[in-house]
Amino acid sequence: MFEMLYIKFTMNLRMPIGISGVAGAGKDLFFSLLRKRMGVRRFALADQLKYDCNQWCYDQYDIEPVYCSREEKEQIREFLVFHGVFKRKLTNGRYWVDKLTPKVKQFLINAQTNDIPVVTDIRYQEYEKDEVYWLKNELDGVLVHISQYVNKDGKRIWKAPANSEEERQDPILKNHADFSIEWEKIKCDNPEESEYLNQKVEEFAIWYNEKIGNKQ
C-alpha cells in the first residue's frame, strides 16, 4: 500500500511522457532535444520486442534488432511488426506494457534524481487498456504526438505511415494527444542545433512545467 502511494506521489512530481508519431517523424530527435532542457530517462516498449527477436533475426537474416542500423531495421520491420502485433492480440494489447511497467515503476521508486521517464514509442490505442490508456491512467502521464512534413510548392507533404498499422493507429494517437508538434523536416548536418526545432521542444517544456505546477 505504501509503495503504491509513493509511486503515485512521484508520478505527480515526475509526470511520465509518452511520444507518438509515424516512423521517421522525429520521436528520437524530440527526446534528444528534450534531454537538453530537463532530466529525462528513455524507455521504449519496443526494446523487449527487439530482445525477443534478436537471436532469430540474426540466425535468419544476419541482422540483430538490438544493435542494427536504421537501414537494417527497415529490412526486418515487417517481421518485427508482425511479432509485436501477434503478442498484443494474445493479451488484448497488454503484453509489451506489462513487460515495461515494472521497469518504469522501479525507476520512479529508486531513482536518485528527478529524471522524468519518457516512453519513446507509444503506438496503439486499439484495446480498452492499451498503450495510451496505460500511459495516462496507470502512469498518470501525458502523450505527445509528432508529425513531420516537407514544404513543396507552398504545400505541406506529411511524412507517410510506414505500414498499415501506423496508417490505422496514427490518427487515433493524434486525437488522444495532450500536446501536438508539427515540424518541418530540416536539412542540416546537426538537427539538434536547429533553432526552429529547439523552439518547438521549448514550447512543450514550458507547457509541461506549467502542467506539473498545476498538479502540485
CATH class for the domain made up of 2-44+98-208: alpha beta
pLDDT at 12: 52
Q: What is the pTM (predicted TM-score) of this model?
A: 0.88
Annotated domain spans of the chain:
2-44+98-208
Model confidence over 115-126: pLDDT tens digits?
A: 999 999 999 999
In SS3 terms, the chain reads as: CHHHHHHHHHHHHCCCEEEECCCCCCHHHHHHHHHCCCCEEEECCHHHHHHHHHHHHHHHHCCCCCCCCHHHHHHHHHHHHHHHHHHHHHCCCCHHHHHHHHHHHHHHHHCCCCCEEEECCCCCCCCCCCHHHHHHHHCCCEEEEEEEEEEECCEEEECCCCCHHHHHHHHHHHHHCCEEEEEECCCCCCHHHCHHHHHHHHHHHHHHHHHHHHHC
pLDDT at 110: 75
Over residues 141-163, mean pLDDT: 94
